[in-house]
């Protein structure tokens, strides 16, 4: 007798692929066995060593033909009599990249055209006992996109080929200002055969937690096909014990279980640094009238109240834009995330974990999944849930004037519904944003954009995608989830343009792009929530040597190969602008790498330091978050990333880590020019004003001692003073404002000011919190102790040879009397190379 219980098994064995029509690399009718499934063509050809590595040299351009060719994948799989006799049999395709025609036993069963959409295809009448053949034919997404563009119109965009706007495929595949043009193709997600009499087709768990933190839980589930049955629903604690449950719930086509849990009965989920991350499980079992189990499903959940707060501020124009979890307002210090590989089928849960663990170890608590990549793998969000990382999730639209014709909207609606349903149970996901920078594109090209218009359909305007962002997507999000929807990133709201700094979120690119401001101006460039900002820096020299592939003739800045591994428009001029304004440097490659890294480290640390100062307590959260562009790379490249493709942190990673510690101290010094005679420009006084503040991200006030030491770089003069201070909880606290010690007032521009170095740190009776490491001593061959008789800035440590070292800190500023110990993994007692600003090295 056939089993009535629903079953699911992967169709992942015996796959082969071919280049339709053949060519030089894959001959006509030559079928190559797939090494691992799911997969894409580039990955398999690399495994076969039939194409050069596109991550090395200029090889990217030698594999462009792959994205313009047609490809076919096929396999045979056996079906048991029991499976064939089930009432229902479906083939489930989690993801096909991108234009695909699927045949089962010679019969066409599916045409797909959206990489982000899964497909469930009933195949009961086509499936047979014994051997079945499954074939998937892939057309070129690039060529198909250009054909669709011909039928409609060419639209404005930044980055990539304009045809991408018509294709629901990862947009970064078309090339970006940090990534290569690598048009992937193939069955990029798993395929399953599922048989059942009835199955649980949807689970919708809504947890409503009002201000008193009482949890109201609605568990809704759908049965396909409708069947008279009984259900049991159980919520289990992280240790597997039952928290609450219900049995004998009647079901026909759907069922619902409702629970109410008072505060204290359940364990709440918090972001990292604010509490624990208990993950519960909801288990659902469906049985027929004879008590035969039809299907069972389990879904992970957590209990947390999440809000985006946009309140009026006490003493500034505009409104807050902040995240509140379980009634606690959170300063979000984090990163933007792009796809971590050009070939996503090579990403594993371990690689995702390594990246996200780096984020947490760097004292960051939020990650933004950028809209030009993909809705990430389930493992990504599971790990974010586990580690307490807040997720800002974009829908997959980026930097373009997207269309809104009927077939496009239909595909987008299915895509949005599927992915909202997939992500809605994750406690880490706290916001869904409609796109990345599409409103900025509209502003740039002066498209139809009346922010006061809240009623139009928009499809007949020259910014038709506004219909997607203001009509379609919010409707889907509201219907299928309780997640906050934000129209775009950036988006101000309240009738303001995206550049407004007093509302919504802001992409602050006037350092590097735009007006190319000095990074010292971050304080006046602040917004309510800065969701993008950045500075380029070279990666580790070993990563540079990897992409050079041993070609020493190209081992210099701005060689042809180097330029191919920096995709940013105008990067040659912009890198040099910021370098020459701040450093004396050479063009010898090791030095050039060092100076760009120090520049990036200083730039980004300054931003976090100044913007955390703006988190001044309830009603004065003038800046509530800073997300650096970006944490990662998709290939070996010079970019804005703070960790390179091989997970080697740049010095900026460590300076950001220090600025996001629970307790920090920050300083600014600014010259103030006063004129005692308002009618005279010749008589004036210049004085240097020092300001010091501290930050505290914990929920309790912190008593400490502020110690400020000043050094004259060209003499033995020093000055130290201390002050007992109290850091307010979850806030910054102003600690000092006054004359810079040791710097006399000047009355002539010809007077040369003294070179005064200032060090500030917070002293605790039990520990030392500072803009450096804790003072620890170790001599086991896996640590480096640093000390100095004079102030030194920008220390970076390295070793000779290809074998790398994992450093506990980098980009260190060192002052006398404050020795520091840098822990390592893999040093093995080897001699350490030390670089610092002004070290005399070319």
Catalytic positions are: 437
Give the Cα separation of 311 and 411 in Å (integer): 36
> Do the strands 100-104 and 130-138 form a parallel or antiparallel pair, or are they unpaired?
antiparallel
Give the Cα separation of 151 and 562 in Å (integer): 39
C-beta separation of 111 from 139 below 8 A: no
Q: Tokens standing for 591? A: 């030095």
- Alpha helices, DSSP H, located in 468-552: 473-480, 541-548
Find all residues with CB under 8 Å of 195, minimum gap 6, and list them: 6, 7, 83, 86, 88, 89, 90
Give the Cα separation of 527 and 521 in Å (integer): 13
φ, ψ of residue 814 to 5 degrees: the values are -120, 140
Give long-range contacts, CB 8 A cutoff, 24+ apart: 149-157: 152/403, 152/405, 153/403, 155/400, 155/401, 155/402, 155/403, 156/400, 156/401, 156/441, 156/445, 156/447, 157/399, 157/400, 157/401, 157/441
| DSSP bridge pairs for 465 | none
Q: Is the dihedral of CA 749, 750, 754, 759 positive or negative?
A: positive
> Do the strands 390-394 and 366-369 form a parallel or antiparallel pair, or are they unpaired?
parallel
H or E segment to which residue 348 belongs: none
Find all residues with CB under 8 Å of 701, minimum gap 6, and list them: 726, 727, 728, 729
The label of the residue with tokens 């759907």 reads 254
Q: Tokens standing for 65? A: 């033909």
Pick from 665, 815, 669, 687: nearest CA to 735: 665
Q: Tokens standing for 750? A: 């010809």
Pick from 20, 353, 41, 33: nearest CA to 173: 41
Output the DSSP codes for 209-228: --TT--EEEEEEEEEES---
SS3 state at 672: strand
CA torsion, points 112, 115, 121, 126, in degrees to nearest 10? 60
Pick from 809, 788, 795, 801: nearest CA to 830: 801
C-beta separation of 483 from 431 below 8 A: yes
Give long-range contacts, CB 8 A cutoff, 24+ apart: 493-498: 493/310, 494/319, 495/451, 495/452, 496/451, 497/443, 497/451, 498/437, 498/439, 498/440, 498/443
Q: Where are the beta strands (DSSP E) in 113-188?
A: 119-122, 130-138, 174-176, 179-181
C-alpha distances in Å from residue 708, one per residue of 521, 615, 769: 23, 23, 13
- Alpha helices, DSSP H, located in 571-637: 571-582, 589-613
SS3 state at 46: helix
Q: Tokens standing for 538? A: 């070279």
Tell me the CB-side half-sphere exposure of residue 576, using CA atoms within 13 A. Answer: 8
Query: How would you label 642-659 residue by residue, b for 16+ Cβ within 10 Å and e otherwise?
Result: bbbbeebbbbbbbbbbbb
Give the Cα separation of 21 and 69 in Å (integer): 9
Helix axes 589-613, 571-582, angle to 10 degrees: 80
């Amino acid at each position: 007798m056939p089993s009535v219980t629903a079953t699911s098994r992967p169709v992942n064995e015996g796959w082969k692929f071919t280049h339709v029509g053949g060519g030089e690399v894959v001959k006509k009718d030559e079928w190559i066995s797939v090494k691992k499934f799911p997969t894409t063509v580039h990955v398999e050809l690399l495994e076969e060593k039939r194409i050069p590595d596109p991550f090395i040299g200029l090889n990217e351009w030698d594999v462009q033909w792959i994205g313009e060719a047609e490809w076919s994948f096929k396999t045979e799989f056996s079906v048991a009599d029991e499976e064939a006799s089930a009432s229902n049999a479906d083939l489930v395709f989690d993801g096909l990249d991108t234009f695909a025609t699927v045949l089962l036993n010679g019969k066409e069963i599916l045409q797909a055209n959206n990489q982000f959409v899964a497909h469930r295809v009933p195949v009961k009448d086509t499936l047979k006992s014994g051997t079945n053949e499954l074939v998937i034919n892939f057309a070129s997404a690039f060529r198909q996109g250009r054909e669709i563009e011909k039928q409609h119109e060419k639209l404005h965009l930044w980055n990539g080929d304009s045809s991408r706007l018509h294709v629901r495929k990862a947009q970064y595949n078309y090339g970006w200002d940090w990534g290569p043009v690598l048009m992937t193709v193939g069955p990029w997600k798993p395929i399953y055969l599922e048989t059942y009499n009835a199955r649980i087709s949807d689970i919708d768990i809504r947890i409503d937690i009002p201000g008193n933190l009482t949890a109201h839980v609605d568990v809704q589930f759908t049965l396909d096909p409708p069947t008279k049955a009984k259900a049991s629903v159980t919520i289990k604690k992280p240790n597997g014990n039952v928290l609450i449950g219900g049995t004998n719930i009647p079901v026909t086509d759907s069922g619902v279980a409702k629970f109410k849990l008072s505060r204290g009965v359940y364990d709440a989920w918090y972001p990292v640094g604010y509490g624990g991350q208990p993950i519960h499980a909801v288990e659902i079992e469906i049985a027929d009238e004879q008590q035969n189990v039809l299907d069972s499903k389990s879904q992970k959940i957590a209990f947390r109240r999440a809000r985006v707060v946009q309140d009026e501020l006490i003493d500034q124009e505009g409104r807050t834009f902040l995240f509140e979890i379980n009634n606690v307002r959170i300063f979000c210090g984090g990163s933007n995330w792009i796809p971590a590989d050009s070939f996503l089928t090579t990403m594993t849960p371990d690689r995702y974990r390594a990246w996200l663990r780096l984020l947490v170890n760097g004292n960051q608590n939020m990650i933004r999944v950028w809209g030009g990549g993909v809705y990430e793998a389930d493992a990504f969000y599971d790990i974010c849930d586990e580690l307490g990382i807040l997720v800002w999730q974009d829908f997959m639209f980026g930097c373009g004037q997207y269309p809104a014709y009927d077939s496009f909207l239909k595909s987008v609606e299915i895509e949005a519904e599927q992915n909202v349903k997939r992500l809605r149970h994750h406690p880490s996901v706290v916001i869904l944003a409609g796109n990345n920078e599409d409103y900025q594109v509209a502003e740039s090209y002066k498209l139809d954009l009346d922010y006061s218009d809240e009623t139009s359909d928009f499809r007949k305007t020259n910014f038709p995608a506004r219909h997607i962002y203001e009509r379609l997507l919010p409707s889907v999000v509201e219907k299928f989830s309780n997640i906050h929807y934000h129209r775009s990133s950036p988006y101000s709201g309240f009738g303001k343009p995206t550049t407004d700094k007093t509302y919504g979120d802001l992409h602050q690119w006037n350092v590097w792009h735009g007006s190319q401001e000095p990074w010292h101006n971050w304080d006046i460039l602040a917004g309510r929530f800065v969701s993008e900002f950045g500075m380029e820096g070279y990666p580790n020299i070993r990563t540079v040597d990897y992409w050079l592939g041993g070609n020493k003739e190209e081992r210099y800045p701005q060689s042809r190969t180097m330029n191919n591994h920096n995709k940013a428009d105008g990067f040659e001029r912009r890198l040099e602008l910021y370098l020459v304004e701040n450093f004396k440097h050479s063009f010898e490659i090791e030095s050039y790498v060092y100076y760009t890294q120090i520049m990036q480290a200083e730039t980004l640390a300054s931003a976090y330091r100044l913007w955390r100062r703006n988190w001044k307590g309830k009603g004065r959260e003038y800046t509530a978050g800073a997300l650096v562009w970006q944490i990662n790379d998709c290939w070996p490249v010079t970019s804005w990333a703070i960790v390179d493709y091989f997970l080697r942190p740049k010095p900026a990673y460590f300076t950001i880590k220090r600025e996001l510690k629970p307790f920090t101290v920050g300083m600014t010094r600014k010259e103030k020019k006063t004129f005692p005679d308002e009618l005279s420009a010749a008589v004036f006084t210049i004085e240097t004003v020092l300001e010091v503040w501290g930050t505290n991200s914990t929920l309790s006030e912190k008593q400490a001692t502020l110690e400020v030491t000043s050094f004259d770089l060209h003499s033995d003069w020093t000055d130290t003073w201390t002050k007992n201070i109290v850091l307010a909880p979850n806030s910054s606290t102003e600690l000092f404002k006054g004359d810079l010690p040791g710097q006399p007032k000047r009355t002539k521009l010809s007077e040369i000011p003294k070179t005064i170095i200032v060090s500030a740190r917070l002293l605790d009776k039990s520990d030392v919190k500072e803009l450096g490491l804790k003072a620890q001593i170790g001599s086991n061959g896996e640590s480096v102790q640093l000390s100095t008789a004079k102030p030194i800035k920008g220390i970076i440590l390295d070793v000779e040879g290809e074998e790398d070292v994992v450093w506990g800190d980098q980009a260190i500023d060192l002052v006398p009397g404050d020795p520091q110990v840098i822990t390592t993994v893999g040093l093995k007692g080897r001699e350490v190379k030390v670089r610092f600003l002004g070290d005399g090295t070319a």
